[in-house]
């Protein structure tokens, strides 16, 4: 390591004492070859520079000077000159005069002598660095920043010409321009207006266009139009002016840089590639920055700073196909343009109102222009089908949806998994895979349930959380399974499932003790909810009979208790059937049980019970109503929804209303059972790809309805309820399908007779459980609700009542 390097790495914290105590001269050492070579070169250079005066200094003095000044030849010469060749009195004095330190504090003896001459003095760091300029930079070396003539345009402001302004820059500048109010721009507006009036339409467009532009200009000039609209007009007019190659000098009044910038924007929008040379503000491009030079090499030495010596960035030499990729407006631009069009439209409407018909013709024309700008996304085409006629003629299978309910762990998901396996909807290999994966987390018995429970949380916890939907077909019917969670925490999801169902499978666990626990738990609550939601047909699957050796006695006992309970809840027993099953092993599901101990049962299998359910009467000719179950993005549309059509029908191209947002949407296309279809009717679970609507207006739980006969949005309603718990004026959550909203029972107008529905008592203070009453509910927000819909009222996590809206 050279001694200079050693100084750089010098750890003076540790070594200062040692260093100060040493005699520096003793430290003289042999120069490294590197230092020696530098020293010799420096000596030769200094001698050459001093010429004849070099005889006045010894090689030793030159060496010392070079050594002291880190081989800085200039400094060394200056030192040698002032000390040995033409020593000034001051320099001589300086050698002995104490110099004030930079900090102005301690006085230190600083001598301008090479190191070895003061070797007997105490070492001083101030001495060592005394000739360093620190912040005392000479004036001639200070950097001077010069403001660029033009607003910066290129990379790091270093591009030599204004170049293309980015769209973002253009937008920002346009906004700034609008905000500045355009006080001094009036002259420009008036002048441009005059010029516009004299424009020949044949140069631009049709006669109508001429009239439009004039109207717009007049509005600006008269000052009746709000600033933003006026500004838009100015921008448009400038475009036209530029297109006609009018000199910008001609129309350039005294402009501030902002105004000039704003004008540039208009140019940039349409004529970025054809900025005329010599146009004011474009003919004095800056030289490339140091950074740009470092990056791209030195600029051409041409004296003229025309486009020739501007740097060509790599993208500038792209093939046209690549450049074309950016010729279209970006998605952001599309959104911004649409927003500005929308605001222009509103503005135009309000302006015409304010004018009170003073200039009706002008307004009509202005409105006409604005209307032309509105969203031009093509509307989906309708085939104008007679949907109900199509449905009658179609040989499509009847469709039915059923919800699977019951106490937690009764075996609902396993039962449905087995059904899908035995019907070959799911293959054996999938079940094997689930079995392995389930074994890995110690839940092997849940493998069949995993067919329905797809979420990782459901799988790890072994409970269903949300409604799982699945489909299967038999010879006559296309079924939709709605597997509901049994856990009490997820009752709202069970309500959502029940609201979409035509009938239900109630699963009860026959295991000793489990049935009894379930009857007190969700078996009871679910049955009540089913009835309240209008479900009248119920198949009771008495499950896990393998755990009680297929005891007929146990089956009969459970059947009896459940029958009594269901009939008390309001189900007609003719609509209730019982099937002894084992979901885990598949007994009496699709095939009859082969267990000898189960031979006593000769009734229908579960699938036979499902098939024999009566076709549901559908509200086909009613106005369209569909509760949205899912909202997602698909390959066909950024906004796709799914759900069951509760009433009415629809077809591709139909206009729909989304409530509560009140936004209109169009049916772009439809899918039924993953197949594209042209129409759909009540009772079908359909996927709708929507268009001409912003996805923010559509949420799960919203209602899609007929545009002409829409569902209203209300915040207060009267409902005839069956009380599950004590009711009084209280806070409640109102559930309707997937929708739930906070509300309050504000009044109880009457207690009603359970069977006849007649009034028993007016304005009771409370309603006891199992009583029927009319209650008035107020919600915090308006939701789409109408008479005939079923709602559930919950409070503190418990279902307290359910009933029908009056």
Ligand X SMILES: Nc1nc2c(ncn2[C@@H]2O[C@H](COP(=O)(O)OP(=O)(O)OP(=O)(O)O)[C@@H](O)[C@H]2O)c(=O)[nH]1
Which residues contact ligand X (rule: CB under 6 A)? 406, 408-414, 445-446, 449, 462-464, 485-487, 543-544, 546-547, 582-584
Of the pair 170, 405, the CB lying nearest ligand X is at 405
Q: What is the DSSP letter of 81?
A: I
CA 606 from chain center: how many Å?
46
- DSSP β-ladder status, 576-580 and 630-632: unpaired
Rg (CA), the chain: 45
Question: How many angstroms separate the CA atoms of 277 and 161, rounded?
Answer: 11
For helices 227-243 and 331-355, the axis angle rounded to 10 degrees is 120
In the complex, what is the shortest distance from the CB of residue 542 to ligand X, in angstroms, rounded to a whole number? 10
Question: How many angstroms separate the CA atoms of 803 and 785, rounded?
Answer: 13
Question: Which run of H or of E encompasses 175?
Answer: helix 167-179
Contact 659, 625 (CB under 8 A): no
Question: How many angstroms separate the CA atoms of 328 and 334, rounded?
Answer: 10
Of the pair 310, 543, the CB lying nearest ligand X is at 543
Question: How many angstroms separate the CA atoms of 559 and 578, rounded?
Answer: 7
Question: How far, in Å, are 273, 311, 312, 323 from residue 317 at the CA level?
Answer: 14, 11, 8, 9
Output the CA angle 592-598-604, nearest 5 degrees: 40
Residue 578 forms beta bridges with which residues?
Answer: 540
Of the pair 472, 550, the CB lying nearest ligand X is at 550
In the complex, what is the shortest distance from the CB of residue 532 to ligand X, in angstroms, rounded to a whole number? 20
In the complex, what is the shortest distance from the CB of residue 730 to ligand X, in angstroms, rounded to a whole number? 29
Of the pair 484, 680, the CB lying nearest ligand X is at 484
In the complex, what is the shortest distance from the CB of residue 494 to ligand X, in angstroms, rounded to a whole number? 10
Which residue's Cβ has the minimum distance to ligand X? 486
Contact 218, 193 (CB under 8 A): yes
- The torsion angles phi and psi of 455, rounded to 5 degrees, stand at -75, 145
Of the pair 583, 701, the CB lying nearest ligand X is at 583
Of the pair 83, 401, the CB lying nearest ligand X is at 401
Of the pair 124, 445, the CB lying nearest ligand X is at 445
Only one residue has tokens 């109880």, namely 748
Of the pair 463, 681, the CB lying nearest ligand X is at 463
Of the pair 449, 792, the CB lying nearest ligand X is at 449
Q: Which two tokens stand for residue 794?
A: 């919950």
In the complex, what is the shortest distance from the CB of residue 754 to ligand X, in angstroms, rounded to a whole number? 31
Output the CA angle 240-245-250, nearest 5 degrees: 95
Of the pair 285, 485, the CB lying nearest ligand X is at 485
Query: Rounded to 5, what percent of the chain is helix, strand, coil?
Result: 40, 20, 40
In the complex, what is the shortest distance from the CB of residue 509 to ligand X, in angstroms, rounded to a whole number? 8
Question: How many angstroms separate the CA atoms of 691 and 391, rounded?
Answer: 25
Contact 729, 745 (CB under 8 A): yes
Q: Which two tokens stand for residue 522?
A: 């969700």
Tell me, letter by letter, the H, E, C secondary structure of 307-374: HHHCCCCHHHHCCHHHHHCCCCCCHHHHHHHHHHHHHHHHHHHHHHHHHCCCCHHHHHHHHHHHHHHC
Of the pair 411, 710, the CB lying nearest ligand X is at 411
In the complex, what is the shortest distance from the CB of residue 604 to ligand X, in angstroms, rounded to a whole number? 18
In the complex, what is the shortest distance from the CB of residue 483 to ligand X, in angstroms, rounded to a whole number? 7
Task: Specify the 3-state DSSP secondary structure of 713.
Answer: strand
In the complex, what is the shortest distance from the CB of residue 511 to ligand X, in angstroms, rounded to a whole number? 8
In the complex, what is the shortest distance from the CB of residue 487 to ligand X, in angstroms, rounded to a whole number? 6
Question: How many angstroms separate the CA atoms of 654 and 649, rounded?
Answer: 10
In the complex, what is the shortest distance from the CB of residue 345 to ligand X, in angstroms, rounded to a whole number? 52
Of the pair 483, 654, the CB lying nearest ligand X is at 483
CA 596 from chain center: how many Å?
60
Of the pair 153, 406, the CB lying nearest ligand X is at 406
In the complex, what is the shortest distance from the CB of residue 414 to ligand X, in angstroms, rounded to a whole number? 3
Question: How many angstroms separate the CA atoms of 424 and 427, rounded?
Answer: 6
Q: Exposure string (b/e) for 720-757, b if CB count within 10 Å is 16 or more?
A: bbbbbbebeeeebbbbbbbbbbebbbeebebbbeeeee
Of the pair 406, 743, the CB lying nearest ligand X is at 406
In the complex, what is the shortest distance from the CB of residue 546 to ligand X, in angstroms, rounded to a whole number? 5
Ramachandran area for residue 452 (φ above 0: left; ψ -120 to 50: alpha; else beta): alpha
Of the pair 483, 706, the CB lying nearest ligand X is at 483
In the complex, what is the shortest distance from the CB of residue 472 to ligand X, in angstroms, rounded to a whole number? 17
CB neighbours of residue 281 within 10 Å: 19
Question: How many angstroms separate the CA atoms of 123 and 108, rounded?
Answer: 11
In the complex, what is the shortest distance from the CB of residue 780 to ligand X, in angstroms, rounded to a whole number? 32
Question: How many angstroms separate the CA atoms of 402 and 41, rounded?
Answer: 99
Of the pair 77, 491, the CB lying nearest ligand X is at 491
Of the pair 163, 580, the CB lying nearest ligand X is at 580
Contact 718, 787 (CB under 8 A): no
In the complex, what is the shortest distance from the CB of residue 453 to ligand X, in angstroms, rounded to a whole number? 7
Of the pair 332, 457, the CB lying nearest ligand X is at 457
In the complex, what is the shortest distance from the CB of residue 620 to ligand X, in angstroms, rounded to a whole number? 34
In the complex, what is the shortest distance from the CB of residue 409 to ligand X, in angstroms, rounded to a whole number? 4
Among 136, 140, 88, which residue's Cα sits nearest to residue 112? 88
Burial class (CB in 10 A: 0-12, 13-18, 19+), 608: middle
């Amino acid at each position: 390591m050279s001694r200079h390097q050693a100084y750089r790495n010098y750890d003076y914290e540790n070594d200062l004492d040692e260093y100060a105590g040493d005699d520096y001269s003793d430290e003289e050492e042999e120069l490294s070859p590197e230092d020696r070579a530098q020293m010799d070169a420096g000596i030769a250079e200094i001698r050459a520079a001093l010429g004849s005066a070099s005889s006045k200094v010894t090689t030793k003095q030159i060496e010392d000077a070079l050594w002291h000044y880190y081989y800085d030849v200039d400094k060394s010469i200056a030192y040698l000159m002032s000390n040995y060749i033409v020593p000034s009195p001051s320099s001589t004095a300086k050698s002995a005069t104490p110099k004030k330190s930079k900090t102005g504090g301690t006085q230190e003896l600083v001598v301008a002598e090479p190191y070895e001459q003061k070797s007997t003095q105490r070492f001083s760091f101030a001495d060592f660095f005394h000739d360093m300029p620190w912040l005392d930079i000479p004036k001639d070396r200070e950097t001077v920043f010069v403001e660029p003539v033009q607003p910066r345009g290129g990379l790091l402001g270093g591009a030599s010409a204004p170049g293309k302004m980015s769209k973002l820059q253009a937008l920002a500048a346009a906004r700034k321009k609008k905000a500045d109010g355009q006080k001094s721009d009036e002259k420009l507006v008036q002048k441009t207006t005059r010029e516009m009036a004299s424009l020949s339409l044949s140069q631009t467009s049709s006669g109508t266009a001429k009239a439009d532009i004039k109207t717009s200009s007049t509005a600006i000039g008269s000052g009746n139009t709000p600033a933003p609209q006026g500004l838009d007009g100015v921008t448009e007019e400038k475009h036209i002016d530029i297109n006609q190659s009018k000199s910008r000098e001609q129309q350039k009044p005294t402009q501030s840089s902002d105004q000039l910038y704003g004008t540039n924007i208009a140019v940039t929008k349409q004529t970025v590639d054809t900025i005329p040379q010599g146009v004011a503000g474009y003919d004095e491009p800056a030289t490339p920055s140091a950074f740009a030079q470092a990056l791209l090499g030195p600029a051409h030495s041409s004296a003229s700073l025309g486009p020739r010596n501007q740097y060509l960035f790599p993208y500038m030499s792209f093939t046209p196909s690549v450049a074309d990729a950016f010729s279209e407006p970006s998605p952001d631009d599309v959104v911004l343009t649409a927003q500005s069009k929308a605001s222009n439209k509103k503005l135009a409407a309000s302006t015409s109102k304010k004018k009170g018909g003073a200039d009706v013709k002008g307004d009509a024309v202005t409105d006409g222009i604005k209307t032309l700008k509105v969203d031009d996304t093509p509307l989906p085409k309708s085939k104008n089908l007679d949907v109900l006629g199509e449905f009658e003629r179609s040989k499509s299978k009847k469709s039915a949806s059923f919800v699977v309910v019951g106490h937690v762990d009764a075996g609902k998901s396993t039962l449905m998994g087995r059904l899908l396996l035995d019907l070959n909807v799911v293959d054996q290999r999938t079940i094997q895979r689930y079995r392995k994966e389930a074994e890995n987390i110690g839940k092997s018995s849940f493998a069949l349930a995993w067919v329905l429970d797809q979420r990782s949380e459901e799988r790890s916890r072994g409970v269903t959380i949300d409604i799982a939907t699945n489909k299967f077909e038999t010879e006559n019917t296309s079924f939709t399974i709605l597997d509901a969670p049994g856990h009490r925490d997820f009752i709202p999801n069970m309500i959502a499932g029940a609201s979409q169902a035509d009938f239900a499978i109630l699963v009860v666990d026959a295991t000793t003790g489990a049935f009894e626990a379930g009857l007190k738990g969700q078996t009871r609550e679910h049955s009540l909810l089913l009835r309240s939601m209008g479900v009248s047909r119920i198949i009771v699957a008495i499950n896990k009979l393998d755990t009680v050796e297929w005891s007929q006695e146990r089956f009969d006992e459970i059947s009896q208790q459940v029958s009594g309970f269901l009939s008390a809840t309001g189900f007609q027993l003719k609509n209730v059937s019982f099937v002894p099953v084992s979901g885990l092993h598949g007994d009496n599901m699709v095939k009859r049980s082969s267990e000898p101990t189960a031979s006593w049962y000769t009734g229908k299998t579960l699938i036979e019970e499902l098939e024999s359910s009566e076709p549901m009467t559908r509200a086909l000719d009613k106005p369209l109503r569909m509760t949205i179950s899912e909202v997602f993005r698909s390959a066909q549309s950024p906004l796709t929804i799914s759900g069951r059509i509760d009433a009415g029908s629809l077809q591709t191209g139909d206009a729909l209303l989304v409530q509560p947002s009140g936004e209109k949407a169009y049916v772009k296309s439809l899918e039924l059972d993953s197949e594209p279809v042209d129409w759909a009717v009540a009772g079908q679970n359909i996927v709708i790809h929507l268009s001409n609507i912003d996805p923010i207006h559509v949420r799960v739980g919203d209602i899609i309805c007929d545009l002409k006969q829409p569902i209203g949005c209300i915040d207060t309603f009267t409902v005839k309820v069956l009380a599950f718990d004590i009711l009084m004026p209280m806070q409640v959550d109102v559930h309707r399908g997937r929708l739930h909203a906070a509300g309050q029972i504000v009044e109880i107008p009457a207690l009603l007779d359970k069977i006849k529905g007649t009034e028993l008592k007016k304005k009771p203070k409370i309603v006891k459980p199992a009583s029927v009453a009319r209650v008035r509910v107020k919600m915090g927000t308006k939701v789409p609700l109408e008479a005939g819909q079923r709602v559930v009222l919950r409070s503190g996590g418990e279902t307290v009542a359910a009933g029908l809206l009056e």
